[in-house]
């Protein structure tokens, strides 16, 4: 979706920025959930 918006005739920079921010938030949330599911081996 972000790639498509970047390469359209009139890219909506604000929408692209929001989508990128949301993507990063989702990635962080996924990493947090995965770290809760997989216990640290050092513990």
Q: Three-class SS of residue 23? A: helix
Q: What is the pLDDT of residue 43?
A: 54
CB 39: neighbour CB atoms within 10 A? 8
Domain ranges of the chain: 2-37
CA dist 8 and 42 (Å) reads 48
Which pLDDT tens digit goes with each residue over 1-43?
667 666 777 778 888 899 999 999 999 999 999 888 887 666 5
pLDDT at position 5 is: 65
């Amino acid at each position: 979706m972000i790639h498509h918006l970047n390469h359209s005739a009139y890219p909506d920079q604000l929408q692209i920025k929001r989508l990128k921010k949301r993507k990063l938030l989702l990635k962080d949330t996924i990493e947090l959930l995965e770290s809760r599911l997989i216990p640290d081996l050092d513990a």
